[in-house]
Amino acid sequence: MAEYKLFPGCFIQNRIPFLEASAKFVFEQVGVSQSAGNFGCCPNPVGLRFVDEKTWAVLGARNLVEAESEGKNIMSLCNGCYQSMAVVNHELKHDPMLKAEVNKVLAEVGKNYAGSISVEHFVRVLHEEVGIEKIKSKITHPLTGLKVALHPGCHYARPSHILKGEDPFNMYFLRDLVEASGATVVDYDQEDLCCGNGVRNADPYTANTMLKAKIDDARIHGADCFAVNCPACFQQMDAEQRNLKSMAAEGVKYNFPTYYVTELLAMAMGKTAKEIGINFHRNKGKDELMKVGL
Amino acid sequence: MVKIDVNLKRAVLDMMMGGDKLSYCFQCGICNDVCPVSQRWGSRYNPRDLVLFSALGFKEALVSAVVKDPFILWGCTTCETCDEKCPAEIPITDIISLLKNVSVSLGVAPEFYPSSTRAVMESGMAIPVQPAVEKRRVGLGIGPAPLIPAEEIRKLMLATGVDKLVKKQEETA
Ligand code: SF4
Ligand code: SF4
């Protein structure tokens, strides 16, 4: 498999690097080769894009050019970065006027976008390029008995006419990866519901109601934890639970653990929770992990 | 009388008729039905109206409504469920993003948006490298973060003029 330029995104890289640690361990185990790139902000599809679409396209294109200069495709660890760069790539390929405008700006720093590489999400790389059988062959400590509710997240597959990975309303890559770890996937009604991260900066209350709805529903269906494949969803679903206290029904505590999918896989491949930094989670899920011998 | 902004009207109609399709919003309301924010807030958050009023070019009316209650626009969580379910394939969230750009250019946006743009201008990333996290990275065995080409990114942002937008926002705030 050709080497990828790894795009962890600012959130993983500079705030919650333990997600990167688990991902890199899994990549090494299953033979995904990757290297760092000279990247900047993706930029945020629910941040800078809303301030100025053109600047968003220029900075996204700048990242694409960095990967083009090495002739390698980008692999993202974040739904948001993935969506931003894949959408910018698509728009530039289909809109010659925008491309000319963006290239005019890029020329100021001696760069030029050609449109020669693609942007991939790591979940697709693991599922489609590595394959579930190979991943299963590396599992030494199956998480038998752990019940997992999935949250692939919105920007992983939408807009579906551009992000061609999976049908956004019938996704199974994350499910297969979680099942490969030996855990059991439980279905719940609110799987497609947004985690709420996208509205947090404008209206935290609304964001909290969405998170609460997801957790309440996952619990009703017997889940022990969430599995995610995006650091923004991870942060919203793990760290922001502290804000649910005032909304909680009597006697209900919000300490529901969330794991990034490569954390589950890394533990199933023999890493201890401590080695991959589960102790940095706000909700570590000690009891839930103990249940499966971790 | 309602004032019509032809630039907004043209931009939104362009988005509806982009590429190889010609479609129009027939106000079926499916976007409202599937929207998790609309489901929580009812008429306070209404993507169907955002599409209609922007396609009609009612910029002034929209902006004054946003000034009164920013949530009517900024309440969108960008889940893109509406786009997927719209029978006419209207790029609803692209239209909403455009309206947010308009709202920012008039100095009406929640504080996070200009401030995170400034962060990118200053350090090349929305979340800059932090010494404590660098230590944690080393402890986890993945080494310090790669260098960020901050100067180059700043140059690009000055070239697009987004610095002026942010300044204007900061002055109104
Ligand atoms: S779902 Fe599409 S066609 Fe129906 S009201 Fe919304 S934007 Fe218009
Ligand atoms: S993208 Fe915005 S308007 Fe569309 S369904 Fe999601 S929250 Fe509602």
Contact B102, B59 (CB under 8 A): yes
Closest ligand 1 atom, residue B82 Cα: 1
User: Residue B24: CB within 6 Å of ligand 1?
Assistant: no
* CA of B49, nearest ligand number: 1
Q: Does the pLDDT value for residue B70 go beyond 80? A: yes
User: How confident is the model over B72-90, as a mean pLDDT?
Assistant: 97
Percent of chain B topping pLDDT 90: 85
The DSSP 8-state label assigned to residue A284 in this structure reads -
User: How confident is the model over B50-77, as a mean pLDDT?
Assistant: 96
- Asked if the C-beta of A214 comes within 8 angstroms of chain B's C-beta atoms, the answer is no
Convert A104-141 to b/e letters by CB count within 10 Å (16 or more is b). ebbeebebebeeebebbbbbbbbbebbeeeebeebbeb
Q: How far is A283 from chain B (nearest CA, A)?
A: 18
Q: Does the pLDDT value for residue B73 go beyond 90? A: yes
Please tell me the distance from the alpha carbon of residue B93 to that of residue B100, in angstroms, as a whole number: 10
Tell me which residues have their CB closer than 6 angstroms to ligand 2.
B 34-37, 47, 76-82, 92-93
Q: Does the pLDDT value for residue B173 go beyond 80? A: no
In this prediction, residue A241 carries a pLDDT of 97
Contact A181, A207 (CB under 8 A): no
In this prediction, residue A292 carries a pLDDT of 86
Closest ligand 1 atom, residue B32 Cα: 6
Which residues of chain A fall short of a pLDDT of 50? none
In this prediction, residue A164 carries a pLDDT of 85
Closest CA to B78 of B113, B125, B30, B36: B36
A20: which chain B residues are within 8 Å (Cβ-Cβ)?
A: 137, 140, 142
A140-290: CATH topology: Rossmann fold (3.40.50)
Write out residues 13-42 of A within 8 Å (CB-CB) of B: 13-15, 17-18, 20-21, 24, 36-41
What ipTM, to 2 d.p.? 0.96
Query: To which residue do tokens 């993202």 refer?
Result: A76
In this prediction, residue B19 carries a pLDDT of 63
In this prediction, residue B2 carries a pLDDT of 83
β-pairing, A147-151 vs A184-185, is parallel
Asked if B71 and A202 come within 8 Å (Cβ–Cβ), the reply is yes
β-pairing, A74-76 vs A119-121, is parallel
Please tell me the distance from the alpha carbon of residue B125 to that of residue A254, in angstroms, as a whole number: 32
Chain B nearest-CA residue for A108:
B156
Nearest protein CA to atom 4 of ligand 1, as residue: B28
In this prediction, residue A34 carries a pLDDT of 98
Percent of chain B topping pLDDT 70: 97
User: How confident is the model over B111-134, as a mean pLDDT?
Assistant: 94
CB nearest to B84's CB, from A53, A59, A168: A168
Chain A nearest-CA residue for B41:
A206
The neighbour count for residue B79, using CB atoms within 10 Å, is: 27
Ligand 2 probe mutation, B35, B38, B50, B89, most atoms within 8 A of CB: B35
Domain boundaries, chain A: 4-122, 140-290
- Amino acid at the residue B81: T
Mean pLDDT of chain B: 94
Structural domains of chain B ordered from first start: 6-105 (1.10.1060.10), 113-172 (no CATH)
Please name the residues in contact with A136: beta carbons below 8 A apart, sequence gap of 6 or more: A180
Q: How far is A70 from chain B (nearest CA, A)?
A: 17
CATH of domain A4-122: 1.20.1050.140
Q: Does the pLDDT value for residue B18 go beyond 70? A: no
Q: In this complex, how many residue pairs, one in chain A and one in chain B, have their CB atoms less than 8 Å apart?
A: 190
In this prediction, residue B22 carries a pLDDT of 73
Closest CA to B120 of A38, A43, A7: A43
* Residues paired with A149 in a beta bridge: A226
Q: Best residue in A50, A189, A281 to probe B by mutation, most B CBs within 10 Å?
A: A50
